[in-house]
Amino acid sequence: MTAGPLSDAERIAWLRLARTPNVGPVAFEHLLHRCGSAGAALAALPGLARRPVDIPSMAEAERELDAGEALGARLICLGEPGFPARLAALDPPPPLIWTLGGADILRLSCVAIVGARVASAAGQRFARELALALGQAGHVVVSGMARGVDGAAHQGALASGTVAVLGGGVGDIYPPEHADLYDRIAQQGCIVSESPPDHRAQARDFPRRNRLISGLSRAVVVVEAELKSGSLITARLAAEQGREVLAVPGSPLDPRARGTNDLIRQGAAVCEGVEDVLRVLEDARDLADRDRPPWTGRPAEPSDALRQRVAALLSPTAVTVDDLVRAVAAPAPEVFAALVELSLSGEAVFGPGGTVSGE
């Protein structure tokens, strides 16, 4: 993995590899270690996938870089100076991010505040006041710039700095009524995205956006959320990433409190004000202070027979990679390499929490 600025050629290759269909963070990390560089991985991709691969051209990658430059945005690749340490500590980490504004703020202690889009007036006030208090205590508030709780949290934290993580690119202002908020965050905080700068958000982009929100943060506070809510996905991702999860209790008569009350039943800390968040942060270790363990897996080249055995065991029901290794009864590095190759051909899908399923 890179430990410094990339050369121009490797930067283009890095971007092309990250934008190749079916090359998610898991496959990206494996390919870099297996092949030694993004350029070598691009050359090996068709053979590993056993089919033609739609690799973006150099011209397409250069157009993305030009689009970011036109916005004044910055591309930061994993391992380069400025890449957030908390994101680098994820397993697997995102290969790259685009930032617009002051990226140095991402190195500070961050707390996410998320919640319902159709939030109550009381919920929005709580989010705004909590964000203000966290900023005054020296923490940066992270959220998703959505309507409701997200927007209120950003507004409360503008004076101290706030981070908006978008599902679309850093140039995608959504919802449109947050155009002024977007401008102020870009000037006083930072806007972050994994997507190309001019990409318009689609439903499939938001789980990745939520993973970045929790990944950047030491703790996630859920203010209001129904039982089926994207905010609960963010809370689950936070728990999987080793972050602290807090929830604001609410009336059992309000559907927007059912998700937060359920989080508390599952063990989330109760948040009734900034003191609760500060108490949790005081006891929690900041992952930004911890280096991610170095890659210890050896590069492996699975046989055709092993690849077929692994493929035969996959189904639409997700299982852990560890369970699959036990079922195959083969060395873990070889099984994992076979899974990466199957993911490149669209026959396997890596999911959260170290799971994998078949198409």
Q: Are residues 230 and 338 in the same domain?
A: no
pLDDT in tens, 58-106: 999 999 999 999 999 999 999 999 999 999 999 889 999 999 999 999 9
**Nearest to 215, CA basis, from 223, 207, 225:** 207
Predicted confidence at residue 188, as pLDDT, reads 94
Residue 260 pLDDT: 97
Domain annotation covers residue 145: yes
Going by pLDDT thresholds of 50, 70 and 90, the confidence category of residue 4 is confident
CATH at 161: 3.40.50.450
Residues 118-142 have a mean pLDDT of: 97
Do 251 and 118 sit in the same domain of this protein? yes
Q: What is the pLDDT of residues 143-197, one digit of tens each?
A: 999 999 999 999 999 999 999 999 999 999 999 999 999 999 999 999 999 999 9
* Residue at 297 is within a domain: no
Instruction: Judge whether 55 lies within some domain.
Output: yes
Kindly state whether residues 225 and 316 are assigned to the same domain.
no
Residue 90 lies in a domain: no
Are residues 139 and 56 part of one domain? no
**Of 289, 320, 345, which residue sits at a domain end?**
289
Residues 133 and 256 in one domain: yes
Tell me the β-bridge partners of 110. Answer: 140
pLDDT per position as a tens digit, 220-264: 999 999 998 999 999 999 999 999 999 999 999 999 999 999 999
CATH of the domain at 313: 1.10.10.10
How far from 342 is each of 50, 250, 252, 347, CA to CA, in Å? 9, 45, 46, 5
Buried b (16+ CB within 10 A) or exposed e, 180-192: ebbebbbebbbbb
Residue 1 lies in a domain: no
Q: Are residues 48 and 180 in the same domain?
A: no
Write phi, then psi, for 109 (nearest 5 degrees). -70, 120
Q: Are residues 130 and 15 in the same domain?
A: no
What is the span of the domain harbouring residue 32? 8-71
Structure-derived torsion over alpha carbons of residues 175, 122, 113, 68, reported in degrees to the nearest 10: 20
- Determine the pLDDT at residue 186: 97
Q: How far apart are CA 107 and CA 48, in angstroms?
A: 37
Same domain, yes or no, for 180 and 274?
yes
Q: Could you tell me if residue 232 is inside a domain? A: yes
In a domain, 88, yes or no: no
Among candidate residues 47, 71, 95, the one where a domain is terminated: 71
DSSP letter, residue 205: G
pLDDT score at 284: 82
What confidence score (pLDDT) does residue 259 get?
Answer: 97
Cis peptide, bond prior to residue 176, ω within 30 of zero = no
Q: Amino acid identity, residue 296?
A: T
Residues 6+ apart with CB under 8 A from 13: 37, 38, 39, 41, 42
Residue 113 has pLDDT above 80, yes or no: yes
Specify the number of domains making up the chain: 3
The reply to whether 195 and 231 lie within a common domain is yes
Helix extents (H) in 217-271: 230-240, 258-265
Q: Could you tell me the end-to-end alpha-carbon distance of the chain, in angstroms, rounded to an integer? A: 30
Higher pLDDT, 352 or 221: 221
pLDDT tens readout for residues 297-346: 556 788 889 999 999 999 999 999 999 999 998 888 899 898 998 999 89
Tokens (6 digits) for 159: 């004076």
Q: Where is the domain boundary, 255, 289, 323?
A: 289
* Virtual torsion, Cα 45, 47, 52, 57, nearest 10 deg: 30
User: Does 114 lie in the same domain as 57?
Assistant: no
Percent of residues in the chain assigned helix, strand, coil, to nearest 5: 50, 15, 40
- Give the pLDDT of residue 236: 95
Q: Is 195 in the same domain as 61?
A: no
Judgement on whether residues 114 and 195 belong to the same structural domain of the protein: yes
Contact by Cβ (8 Å): 87, 212: yes
Residue 94 lies in a domain: no
